[in-house]
Chains A and B, each alone.
Chain A
Amino acid sequence: MSDITASSTTSGTVSSNGSSTSSSTSSSTGLAPGALIDPDDLGLTETSLPTGSKVRTWWWRELRPLLLRVHFYAGLFVGPFLLVSALTGLLYTTTPQLEQLVHRDQLHVTAPAGAAALPLSQQINAASAVLPEGSISEIRPPIGPDGTTRVVFNAPGVPDGYFRTVFVDPYTAQVRDTLTTYGQWLPVRAWFDELHRTLFLGNVGRVYSELSASWLWVLTLSGLVIWVARRRRTRRLRRLLTPRLRGTGRGRLRSWHGAVGVWAAVGFLFLSATGLTWSQFAGNNVDTLRGALQWTTPSVHTTISASVLPDPPKGAELAEQAERALAVARAHGLTDPVRIAPPTKPGRAWVVIQVKRSWPEKQDSMAIDPTTGTVVDQLRFADWPLAAKLARWGVDAHMGLLFGLPSQIALAALAIGLICMITWGYRMWWLRRPTRLAESPRAGESPRALAPPGRRWSGLGAIALLGAVAVGVGLFLPVFGASLLVFLLIDAIRTEFASARA
């Protein structure tokens, strides 16, 4: 604590430059002429607030400049990645409607009046005839009377994670089309999904989205703290939550950047957290953590206790067993929409799982022995651990599925907000670039007083504290840690060589 006090005391002299300049900020140089600027907008008014508790003083003198520095540099360097994530995410929010529009022929049929759907086994056999080289991965019966049956195949020549899906008319057992799908997503949604996740660069591309997710929460939290703790003499709540509509220049941009950020902060933190669960490196750590805390998504037990273990079915036998498994599941109360997965090993049961991912979610599942028609095991979504439910809801909310159109609109608003904030951030930096300051009437003043947030002093305690936090977080979020380290090393190497030259 003595260290903190000493640094706080001494930094008061450093910022005396700021005090002397704060009165002249209305003629703000590097800003648009006539801009409605007050000292708060230049971040200079902290110089008049050295009093208060040690913690408050320490925060104001040491931690705040460091947070400004982190927010400034992180925004500057990670901004392009976040911009790409926001743009591709914005496009992704349109995919539910786009998918229905582009693939309406595969997804929908005209139900004949009074006609009943043909047996599921007949539809599966029709699909298998089209794709004899494939092995069935799952079957998705139609959700409504105008829907098609999807028979999903593992097939040779299909990229990892992708399948070949045959769409069958349930009333005629005619195959309407065969498409390469990613999970349950049809090609158009799979394309946007791949764009958002990897930019079509495979595992290398996944690093881009992990970088975005790893830094979004840092930028959000640092920006939120800076903005909320900002000194405001008048209309504090209004200036915190609403942007300035009048005026020009950097101060107005900052008011928009800050106010929009406050409103979007929870959404950004949510997107960052859920995005990290999908990521390549941090995602593995999240999985490990969930496993250690027993927060993993539960699944039904599929082992059949029988003296003779049946081999996984094939061909017509598979089709009949699928139909029987579905009938047993429905008889035990499992309602549509469902997917039916065949056993992959000898002695295992079929699994029928509800797949409704909108609120209220249906995720019950049953393991069924089709030879005896018995339910081997069942698991209800209501019985999932809370953490597993939260993970399910989180993933579905991130994808805009949980609340349908309102979810999509909210996600689109967040994406647009992020795009605007990044643009305003870069614009603010441009308005305050050092070359412009050098041309200004204030150029004769202390460079430190004119410096952007990245140039101000931070105390040893603040740097060591954030450094220790960064080490811990960097181990859990490797892309965050690695990118931070690369930045610090480049900065340090440049500094050392510059010192040597000097």
Chain B
Amino acid sequence: MRETRVISSVPLSVLLTVIFAATGGYSLLRWASLRAGVAGHHGDRVAELSHLVMSVAMIAMVWAYGGPAGNVAQIVLFTVLAGYFLARLPVGRRGARLGGCPAPGFHLLMCASMVWMVAAMPLLMGGMPTGSAGGHMHGMPMGGADSAGQDGQPPAPTPAWAVVVTVAVSVALLAAAGYWLRRAVRTPARPEVPVGAEVQVDAEVPALIGGGEVRPAEPPARSARRAPSRVPAALTPRRDAVCHLAMSVGMAAMCLAML
């Protein structure tokens, strides 16, 4: 269990928790709709899972829940996810039209930011580990955390390069937030697939396990069509953009709070 929090202000922590809980909940619904084959528009399960995990990880970071092993696991996980989104980059918009990840570049940025935040936290927070050994805040622009050193020791200075990288990451996240704000405003409120229209059930997912064979997707029978229910119909591109916007702003806030 970490002993110090990135943000000492409880109201701000609660606000960020609400934001990340909302983004996590939305991602869970998006992933579940894709998994259940009732998503009314394109999506990428990996992106939704990464959003979900990222939201949970950010809440854990807000409340200083976790430890050194959790940090290592996060770095490995988000590095792998960053590799996936990097591999999806060439597909780009064509992939999105075909039902792939709608914004691999953005998701790559988010994963890289997570890796940086988790890895650089000891550096940014006065050279003190944030694991069980405890630590303290180097600065408190976002929450007014205690800047006194542990055991009366003066805080170790944060390397300038680490500050520069953190600022750059924050700026990139804020720029992404601007992009998603624009998307949220410009995207029509109505879903791509109107509520009430027939939506084909997604093709059967190739099973991971099945005697070593990946069964080709079964063409959905005509009778196997489902009318979208309210939940998947509510997962509109505009709300996707708002979710991305909230995630970007929240992460930028956490990033800046570490300085």
Interface positions of A (Cβ within 8 A of B): 2-3, 6-7, 10-11, 13-14, 16-17, 73, 76, 281, 284, 288, 433-436, 438, 446-448, 452, 454-455, 457-461, 463-464, 467-468, 471, 475, 478, 482, 485, 487-496, 498-500, 502
Q: Nearest Cβ in chain A — how far from B201, in angstroms?
A: 7
For B209, what are the chain A residues with a Cβ–Cβ distance below 8 Å?
Answer: 73, 76, 454
Cross-interface CB contact of B52 among A73, A471, A491, cutoff 8 Å: A471
For B32, what are the chain A residues with a Cβ–Cβ distance below 8 Å?
Answer: 460, 463-464, 467
> With A and B bound together, what is the CA distance between A463 and B226 in angstroms?
17
> With A and B bound together, what is the CA distance between A73 and B100 in angstroms?
25
Interface residues of B in 89-137 (CB under 8 A from A): 91, 95, 98-101
Which residue of the partner chain B has the closest CB to A5? Answer: B229
Residue from B31, B80, B201, B209 whose CB has the most chain A CB atoms within 10 Å = B209
B46 interfacial by beta-carbon distance below 8 Å: yes
Are the C-beta atoms of B211 and A434 separated by less than 8 Å? yes
Are the C-beta atoms of B208 and A500 separated by less than 8 Å? no
For B60, what are the chain A residues with a Cβ–Cβ distance below 8 Å?
Answer: 475
Q: Nearest Cβ in chain B — how far from A444, in angstroms?
A: 13
**8 nearest A-B residue pairs (beta carbon):** A433-B211, A492-B45, A3-B229, A10-B226, A6-B229, A464-B32, A463-B32, A460-B36
Are the C-beta atoms of A3 and B36 separated by less than 8 Å? no
Known: A447-B204, A460-B232. A434 touches B36 (CB 8 A): no
B77 interfacial by beta-carbon distance below 8 Å: yes
Cross-interface CB contact of A460 among B38, B81, B212, cutoff 8 Å: B38
Are the C-beta atoms of A16 and B46 separated by less than 8 Å? no
B165 interfacial by beta-carbon distance below 8 Å: no
Which residue of the partner chain B has the closest CB to A287? Answer: B1
Interface residues of B in 124-175 (CB under 8 A from A): none
Known: A471-B28, A490-B208. A502 touches B223 (CB 8 A): no
Number of B residues, CB within 8 Å of A: 62
Are the C-beta atoms of B230 and A502 separated by less than 8 Å? no
Are the C-beta atoms of B46 and A284 separated by less than 8 Å? no
B205 interfacial by beta-carbon distance below 8 Å: yes
For B65, what are the chain A residues with a Cβ–Cβ distance below 8 Å?
Answer: 475
Residue from A433, A475, A496, A498 whose CB has the most chain B CB atoms within 10 Å = A496
Q: Nearest Cβ in chain A — how far from B206, in angstroms?
A: 5
Are the C-beta atoms of B226 and A482 separated by less than 8 Å? no
Which segment of B180-188, B214-222, B249-257 sits at the interface?
Answer: B214-222
Are the C-beta atoms of B224 and A14 separated by less than 8 Å? yes
Q: A14-B221, A496-B88 are in contact. List 14 more A-B contacts (CB 8 A).
A: A7-B38, A13-B225, A433-B210, A433-B211, A452-B210, A460-B36, A460-B38, A461-B231, A464-B32, A467-B31, A491-B205, A493-B46, A496-B46, A500-B98
For A461, what are the chain B residues with a Cβ–Cβ distance below 8 Å?
Answer: 231
Cross-interface CB contact of B70 among A13, A468, A478, A496, cutoff 8 Å: A478
For B33, what are the chain A residues with a Cβ–Cβ distance below 8 Å?
Answer: 460
Interface positions of B (Cβ within 8 A of A): 1, 24-25, 28-29, 31-33, 35-38, 44-46, 49, 52-53, 56, 60, 65, 67, 69-70, 73, 77, 80-81, 84, 88, 91, 95, 98-101, 201, 204-215, 217-218, 221, 223-232
Known: A457-B37, A499-B100. A13 touches B224 (CB 8 A): yes
For B24, what are the chain A residues with a Cβ–Cβ distance below 8 Å?
Answer: 471
Are the C-beta atoms of A454 and B207 separated by less than 8 Å? yes
Are the C-beta atoms of A463 and B36 separated by less than 8 Å? yes
> With A and B bound together, what is the CA distance between A460 and B234 in angstroms?
13
Known: A463-B36, A471-B28. A6 touches B208 (CB 8 A): no
For A438, what are the chain B residues with a Cβ–Cβ distance below 8 Å?
Answer: 213
Cross-interface CB contact of A496 among B31, B101, B208, B210, cutoff 8 Å: B101
Cross-interface CB contact of B56 among A281, A458, A471, A493, cutoff 8 Å: A471
Are the C-beta atoms of B231 and A3 separated by less than 8 Å? yes
Are the C-beta atoms of B84 and A493 separated by less than 8 Å? yes
> With A and B bound together, what is the CA distance between A492 and B69 in angstroms?
25
> With A and B bound together, what is the CA distance between A378 and B114 in angstroms?
51
Cross-interface CB contact of A498 among B211, B214, B225, cutoff 8 Å: B214
Q: Nearest Cβ in chain A — how far from B217, in angstroms?
A: 7
Cross-interface CB contact of B205 among A433, A493, A495, cutoff 8 Å: A495
> With A and B bound together, what is the CA distance between A141 and B89 in angstroms?
71
For B217, what are the chain A residues with a Cβ–Cβ distance below 8 Å?
Answer: 502
For B98, what are the chain A residues with a Cβ–Cβ distance below 8 Å?
Answer: 499-500
Q: Nearest Cβ in chain B — how far from A329, in angstroms?
A: 36
> With A and B bound together, what is the CA distance between A498 and B204 in angstroms?
12
Are the C-beta atoms of B100 and A500 separated by less than 8 Å? yes
Are the C-beta atoms of B31 and A436 separated by less than 8 Å? no
Q: Nearest Cβ in chain A — how far from B90, in angstroms?
A: 11
Which residue of the partner chain A has the closest CB to B73? Answer: A482
Which residue of the partner chain B has the closest CB to A455? Answer: B207
For B73, what are the chain A residues with a Cβ–Cβ distance below 8 Å?
Answer: 478, 482
